[in-house]
Amino acid sequence: MSESLTFSQLDLPDAILRAVTELGYETPSPIQAAAIPKLLAGEDLLGQAQTGTGKTAAFALPLLARLDPAQNEPQILVLAPTRELAIQVAEAFQAYARFMPAFHVLPLYGGQSYTNQLKSLKRGSQVIVGTPGRILDHLDRGTLQLDKLRAIVLDEADEMLRMGFIDDVQTIMDATPAGRQVAMFSATMPSQIRAIAQKHLKNAQEIKIESKTSTVERITQRYVMLDSNQKLDALTRVLEGEEYDASIIFVRTKSATEEISEKLGARGYAVACLNGDMNQANREQTIRRLKAGQIDIIVATDVAARGLDVERISLVINYDIPYDSEAYVHRIGRTGRAGRLGKAILFVSPRERRLLRTIEHATRQPIEKMSLPTGEVIEQRRIESFREQLANTIEAKNLSFFQDLINDWREKLETTDADLAAALLFLAQKDQPLNVAKQFPEIREPHARGDRPDRPERGDRPRFERGDRPERGDRPERGPRPRREMQGNYNTYRIEVGKEHGVRAGDIVGAIANEANIDSQFIGNIKLFDHFSTVELPADIPTEIFQHLKKVYVRKQKLNISVDTGGHGGGDRAERPAGDRRPSSAPAGAGPRPGAAPKRRTRE
């Protein structure tokens, strides 16, 4: 339908059509072609379509057409799950209404100054775009009036449900006038979303746009098997060897965003980090710089990157594998949007194989194993890139001044054109040398436990006769290892198995690592008490994994894991620190693996 339809056939006002034309829109997408006529007619709408299909224009264009420009009070309210999406939707409204006189749109989201928001609300805006929490704050304060509201839009309703905002959404919907128009858009339609639609939408027109290919299917997915200490080297090889316009690198912790962006910056990359500790002004500036091509790489956490939609992003690198497949799909969804192709690369350690299989099962697609670019490949890429820069310069620049210099230098230096060009090329490439093949030694794939080569058979190992084995007393004394603070967001959890059940720290590590697919390096300090134990784990454990851990047995005791509330009392004292807590397979006295964050676990 939309292939032959044009925007001029959709009965949109001239001012909006002019803006659409200047923005380069030619024909409406399927969701736009289906939704715009219905919303123009004032009907309620329930739309199901994937992110990146043009939903914003599908509701913004018709609702702007029904706006009363003389009324400087909120007439349209759009609820979005994230600050980034709220900003993008507000920017889209502003772009579509550029030729509408006295138009004002106001984004409202957490992290902004209330003072600035209150000033903007007093000035008046016809369109409000906000996150549920901040909209509800203003309703409670009485600083946002919705009595003149004509329409409300729920954008990415299933994401708001997943993030826990659905009760706020219900409260906001109840506070809007009864006669307002309602449009709800969602990529999926879980029962809670359909229940809201049945309650608040009247005679709603339902449209469902079947995506020809899912976002995941439009993305080439590959993985690299490597140890943690190989990641940074592997990352620089991927960034050198892959073709991309802009890239986003996902890590688990805020500190990692800063550390990796700093190291990449030192290697000459145009990079910035994006994490939850940044204030909103800095976050917005970073995204603007990415869109403008001033930076090419973003290192981000999952939360910081939610709602990020930058057309330049063509490569997603999962530096740290996510704990759940849904987070993986959201991550790689930052590329391959609106029909574009994208690439995603996943770094996997041998201990994380099961997480890889879980992701493949959830996405119903195999993730292809890849080899890292070799030194020869990187060298050739640099040479080709430099040659392309030369060709563009020769074609586009006036070089007469430099040609005169070359002729003069050739005579004064009594050299040939070839030697002069070679010397200039040598000077030009000093910051990023072209002859680098030998600087990138092979990265060998790590072996899974039990697969290590060159391990002598039991019969080849040295044997001690009785009485010949070195006495324990001849070995140097080991003092207790110091406890180090955990990095990133960790919680302390209580599990209902303790010393009286014969449990050891290694039992707990093995159970959690195997049942929750959590690499043991992310299992923190363990304290063994008489009747129970405590363990530090990442704070972002998915709910389904947490519930599964409740049912896991260790030493015939159900873990029944829960958030530790302290107050253990003096009658159930923890053991004194007794060295580094490691599973029994780790070498005694071994420190953390090279490259891993210093998360030293102790049994206390």
Which domains does the chain possess? Answer: 7-208 (3.40.50.300), 216-372 (3.40.50.300), 376-438 (no CATH), 481-604 (3.30.70.330)
pLDDT bin (cut points 50, 70, 90) of residue 432 is low
CA distances from 53 to 33, 90, 208 (A): 11, 17, 12
- 278-287, 388-397, 447-456: lowest mean pLDDT where? 447-456
Amino acid at 110: G
Give the pLDDT confidence score for residue 438 in this predicted structure.
62
Taking residues 227-240, what's their average pLDDT? 86
Percent of the chain with pLDDT over 70: 79
Give the pLDDT confidence score for residue 472 in this predicted structure.
36
pLDDT bin (cut points 50, 70, 90) of residue 4 is low
Give the pLDDT confidence score for residue 561 in this predicted structure.
92
Taking residues 121-125, what's their average pLDDT? 91
331 vs 245: CA distance, rounded Å: 17
pLDDT bin (cut points 50, 70, 90) of residue 416 is confident
Q: In terms of Cα–Cα distance, which of 29, 31, 28, 27 is closest to 49?
A: 31
pLDDT bin (cut points 50, 70, 90) of residue 264 is very high
Q: Which has more confidence, 446 or 505?
A: 505
Q: In terms of Cα–Cα distance, which of 496, 552, 506 is closest to 529?
A: 496
Highest mean pLDDT among 118-127, 198-207, 280-289: 118-127
Using the predicted structure, report yes or no on whether residue 471 has a pLDDT greater than 60.
no
593 vs 36: CA distance, rounded Å: 57
61 vs 488: CA distance, rounded Å: 43
Residue 520 contacts by C-beta under 8 Å, 6 or more apart in sequence?
A: 351, 509, 513, 583
Give the pLDDT confidence score for residue 447 in this predicted structure.
52
Using the predicted structure, report yes or no on whether residue 284 has a pLDDT greater than 60.
yes
Cα dihedral across residues 70, 72, 76, 80: positive or negative:
positive
Q: Which has more confidence, 433 or 200?
A: 200
CA distances from 478 to 465, 578, 580 (A): 26, 10, 11
Strand spans (E) along 470-558 = 490-495, 526-528, 533-538, 553-554, 557-558
Taking residues 291-312, what's their average pLDDT? 85
Give the pLDDT confidence score for residue 42 in this predicted structure.
93
564 vs 534: CA distance, rounded Å: 7
Which two structure tokens, joined as six digits, stand for 9?
């056939």
Q: In terms of Cα–Cα distance, which of 336, 323, 319 is closest to 271?
A: 319
Give the pLDDT confidence score for residue 446 in this predicted structure.
65
pLDDT bin (cut points 50, 70, 90) of residue 315 is very high
Q: In terms of Cα–Cα distance, which of 43, 38, 36, 46 is closest to 12?
A: 36
Q: How many CB atoms lie within 10 A of CB 327?
A: 17
Cα dihedral across residues 443, 448, 451, 455: positive or negative:
positive
pLDDT bin (cut points 50, 70, 90) of residue 171 is very high
- Give the SS3 label for residue 106: strand
Give the pLDDT confidence score for residue 424 in this predicted structure.
83
Q: How many CB atoms lie within 10 A of CB 95?
A: 16
Q: What is the H or E stretch that residue 3 is in?
A: none
Percent of the chain with pLDDT over 90: 27
pLDDT in tens, 341-368: 889 999 998 878 878 887 887 777 889 9
Give the pLDDT confidence score for residue 567 in this predicted structure.
63
Strand spans (E) along 367-489 = 368-369
Give the pLDDT confidence score for residue 458 in this predicted structure.
35
CA distances from 420 to 396, 398, 433, 531, 544 (A): 22, 20, 18, 80, 66
Give the pLDDT confidence score for residue 337 in this predicted structure.
67
Strand order in the sheet with 246-250: 271-274, 297-300, 246-250, 313-318, 342-348, 219-225, 368-369
Q: Which has more confidence, 383 or 401?
A: 401
- Give the SS3 label for residue 53: coil
Which two structure tokens, joined as six digits, stand for 299?
């290192």
Taking residues 57-85, what's their average pLDDT? 92
- pLDDT, averaged across the chain: 79
Q: In terms of Cα–Cα distance, which of 553, 544, 580, 550 is closest to 563?
A: 550
For the chain, the first-to-last Cα distance in angstroms comes to: 68
373 vs 244: CA distance, rounded Å: 14
Phi, psi (deg, nearest 5) at residue 105: -125, 140
Using the predicted structure, report yes or no on whether residue 40 has a pLDDT greater than 90.
yes
49 vs 215: CA distance, rounded Å: 12
597 vs 232: CA distance, rounded Å: 13
CA 131 from centre of chain: 19
pLDDT bin (cut points 50, 70, 90) of residue 44 is very high
Secondary structure, 3-state, 330-349:
HHHCCCCCCCCCEEEEEEEC
38 vs 526: CA distance, rounded Å: 59
Give the pLDDT confidence score for residue 257 in this predicted structure.
92
Q: In terms of Cα–Cα distance, which of 461, 457, 505, 465 is closest to 481?
A: 505
Instruction: Specify the residue for token string 């039991």.
Output: 458
For residue 89, with 0-12 CB atoms within 10 Å meaning exposed, 13-18 middle and 19 or more buried, which class applies?
buried
